């Protein structure tokens, strides 16, 4: 899943000026974005008031959608650079193809992790024979300067470590939670975990006070630090926490996202992350002229052309708080 907006904004993100250094409860409402023929997503990051959480810089939640008799997800080849994509499913299957030759079907609670580095292109689609329901999240992680030009590669991990407590199963997607570490390659101090809670569960999750955190609700209803968080919304939590109280009022699915605040200032446009307007302009030229990002073989259809890049440079950013 990617940003298919045909009029995307050129966004400045990162930097300590956006970080809240103390615990907060900031409920983020999504905006709805159409993705392909039959998929609609709720975009939580970047948000009007919140651009990043640690290195997490893009969060889409989609479904559950009934795609019986529908094509489901159909995202034609498109480019990425300077980031990692994290594909995470609760229901359904997604077929991933990319320009380094990867071909993998991602299934529920399996990690599909694509590191774009200096440049890669990929497609994502529901297999022709697919299940009735599609439900998941697509997330991006910004790569730090020292790693943003690494060789592009794809990792698929069907088995991931878990942390359990009465009524709770936490699957560690990326980084480390409570001593359990994902096999996925991380380039910054980070955590991503999928939380499955039974109705009536009350628990406390151990946190790193140096990280900033947010919780995305995938399904059901849960109270996170006393705040009701419904499916498709996200609660930003700030920094300075050593634990997080969670109470499920129904069976619920959450995603815990966190990491060290991302100090570098980045520029996001369409499916690219750079450090300047010039970086993005070069990426666009390279994609439109057929160099750098390679070719996705086996997808039935043409690649997606880049939107026009706004002609003006970004204006200086203000602080959120």
Q: Enumerate the domain spans of the chain.
A: 26-259
The fourth-level CATH superfamily of domain 26-259 is Jelly Rolls (2.60.120.10)
- H/E run at residue 208: none
Q: Is 78 annotated as a binding residue?
A: yes
Q: How far apart are the first and last CA of the chain?
A: 31
pLDDT at 40: 80
Q: Is 149 annotated as a binding residue?
A: no
pLDDT at 319: 36
Q: Is 124 annotated as a binding residue?
A: yes
pLDDT at 13: 76
DSSP character string of 215-250: EEEEESEEEETTEEEETT-EEEEES--SEEEEEESS
Residuewise pLDDT in 10s, the chain (321 residues): 455 555 566 666 766 667 888 999 999 989 888 765 556 889 999 987 789 999 999 999 999 999 999 999 999 999 999 999 999 999 999 999 999 999 999 999 999 999 999 999 999 999 999 999 999 999 999 999 999 999 999 999 999 999 999 999 999 999 999 999 999 999 999 999 999 999 999 999 999 999 999 999 999 999 999 999 999 999 999 999 999 999 999 999 999 999 999 999 999 999 999 999 999 999 999 999 988 999 999 999 999 999 999 876 554 343 333
pTM for this model (two decimals): 0.93
How far are the Cα atoms of 78, 256, 270, 294 from residue 306, in angstroms, in the given order? 8, 32, 8, 15
**What percent of the residues of the chain are helix, what percent strand, and what percent coil, each to the nearest 5?**
5, 50, 45
Nearest C-alpha neighbor of 201 from the set 176, 168, 170: 168
Q: Is the dihedral of CA 315, 216, 30, 6 positive or negative?
A: positive
Q: Is 80 annotated as a binding residue?
A: yes
pLDDT at 317: 45
pLDDT at 34: 74
Give the strand order in the sheet containing 221-224. 202-206, 243-248, 221-224, 227-230
């Amino acid at each position: 899943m990617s940003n298919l907006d045909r009029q995307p904004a050129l966004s400045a993100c990162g930097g300590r000026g956006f970080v809240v250094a103390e615990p907060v409860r900031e409920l983020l409402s999504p905006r709805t974005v159409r993705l392909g023929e039959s998929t609609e997503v709720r975009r939580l990051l970047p948000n009007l008031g919140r651009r990043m959480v640690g290195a997490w810089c893009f969060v889409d939640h989609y479904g559950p959608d009934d795609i019986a008799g529908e094509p489901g997800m159909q995202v034609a080849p498109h480019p990425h650079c300077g980031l990692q994509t994290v594909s995470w499913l609760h229901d359904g299957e997604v077929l991933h193809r990319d320009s380094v030759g990867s071909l993998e079907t991602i299934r529920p609670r399996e990690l599909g992790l694509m590191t774009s580095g200096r440049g890669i292109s990929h497609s994502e689609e529901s297999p022709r024979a697919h299940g009735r329901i599609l439900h998941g999240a697509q997330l991006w992680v910004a790569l730090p300067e020292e790693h943003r030009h690494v060789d592009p590669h794809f990792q698929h991990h069907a088995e991931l470590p878990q942390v359990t407590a009465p009524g709770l199963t936490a699957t560690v997607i990326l980084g480390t939670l409570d001593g359990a570490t994902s096999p996925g390659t991380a380039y910054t101090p980070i955590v991503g975990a999928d939380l499955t809670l039974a109705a009536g569960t009350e628990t406390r999750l151990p946190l790193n006070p140096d990280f900033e955190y947010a919780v995305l609700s995938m399904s059901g209803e849960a109270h996170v630090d006393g705040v009701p968080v419904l499916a498709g919304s996200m609660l930003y939590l700030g920094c300075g926490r050593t634990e997080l109280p969670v109470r499920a009022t129904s069976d619920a699915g959450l995603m815990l996202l966190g990491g060290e605040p991302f100090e570098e200032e980045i520029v996001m446009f369409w499916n690219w992350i750079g450090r300047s307007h010039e970086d993005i302009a070069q990426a666009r030229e390279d994609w439109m002229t057929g160099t750098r990002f390679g070719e996705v073989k086996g997808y039935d259809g043409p690649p997606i052309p880049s939107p026009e890049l706004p002609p003006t440079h970004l204006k200086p950013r203000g602080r959120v708080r």
